[in-house]
């Protein structure tokens, strides 16, 4: 029986693609590099901000010093513009309230830097979650399960009592690696094929469908 629901953030709870794209393009342009159309960012994001910057930079300019400089400009800009266009997907807030009313524990586990993950979540959803964590120093990013397993322990549930909900193959791999039930969503940044190939047990098209999955 599922007792806790663990959510990815970007592409699952919130549509943040434009703010991430705008911030990255600002950093790229500031350094004289080509920018990208927003659609490309659907495949740049998901593995943390450093990987976002690496993927956006030209291949010949992905040395450590350039990545760090571009990342710094990105962080400073994003810290001021992270909510310009970011919003909760339709039906998400209603879903979260239903989960709480039904007694499920809920958490956010993101590859976004921990501080920003907490800020974005608090600004859009308030304190509805039992836990919110992002990428921390000395913790590998998802799909490594170390941080996820720590959250599961803090929630005082077992891995098999958790559903991990996300929009990418990396999220599905995180679910598999943590022993949770992998639930893929189709309203985010990636496609069904990727979710299926990476271990999704269930795939849903609308937030309200998660309630049906949890009761199976």
Count Cα neighbours of 18 within 13 Å in the Cβ-side half-sphere: 7
Domains of the chain (ranges; CATH) run 4-15+87-214 (3.40.50.1000), 17-81 (1.10.150)
Confidence of residue 94 (pLDDT cuts 50, 70, 90): very high
Specify the pTM.
0.94
pLDDT higher than 80, residue 216: no
Structure tokens at 187: 């309203």
CB-CB contact of 48 with 160 (8 Å): no
pLDDT higher than 80, residue 156: yes
pLDDT value at residue 215: 85
pLDDT higher than 90, residue 48: no
Mean pLDDT of 89-104: 98
**Which residues lie below 8 Å from residue 134, measured CB to CB, with a gap of 6+?**
9, 110, 111, 112, 113, 114, 115, 116, 117, 118
CB-CB contact of 200 with 182 (8 Å): yes
CB-CB contact of 145 with 122 (8 Å): no
CB-CB contact of 181 with 163 (8 Å): yes
Confidence of residue 47 (pLDDT cuts 50, 70, 90): confident
Confidence of residue 46 (pLDDT cuts 50, 70, 90): confident
Long-range contacts of 98-102 (CB under 8 A, 24+ apart): 98/211, 99/5, 99/211, 100/128, 102/211
Tens digits of per-residue pLDDT, 22-31? 999 999 999 9
Residue-level length of the chain: 216
Confidence of residue 178 (pLDDT cuts 50, 70, 90): very high
| Arithmetic mean of pLDDT over the chain | 96
**Residue 173: which of 8, 22, 17, 20 has the closest Cα?**
8
């Amino acid at each position: 029986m599922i007792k806790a629901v663990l959510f990815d953030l970007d592409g699952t709870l919130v549509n943040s693609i434009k703010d991430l794209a705008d911030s990255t393009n600002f950093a790229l342009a500031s350094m004289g590099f080509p920018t990208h159309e927003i659609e490309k960012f659907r495949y740049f994001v998901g593995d943390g901000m450093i990987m976002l910057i690496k993927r956006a930079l030209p291949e010949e300019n992905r040395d450590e010093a350039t990545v760090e400089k571009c990342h710094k400009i990105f962080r400073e800009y994003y810290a001021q513009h992270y909510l310009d266009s970011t919003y909760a997907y339709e039906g998400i807030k209603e879903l979260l309230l239903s989960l709480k009313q039904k007694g499920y524990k809920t958490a956010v586990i993101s590859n976004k830097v921990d501080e920003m993950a907490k800020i974005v979540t608090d600004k859009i959803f308030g304190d509805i979650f039992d836990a919110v964590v992002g990428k921390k120093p000395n913790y590998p990013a998802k799909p490594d399960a170390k941080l996820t397993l720590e959250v599961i322990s803090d929630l005082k549930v077992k891995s098999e009592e958790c559903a991990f909900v996300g929009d990418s193959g990396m999220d599905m791999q995180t679910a598999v690696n943590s022993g949770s039930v992998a639930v893929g969503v189709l309203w985010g940044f990636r496609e069904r094929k990727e979710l299926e190939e990476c271990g999704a047990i269930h795939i849903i098209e609308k937030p309200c469908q998660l309630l049906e999955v949890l009761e199976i």
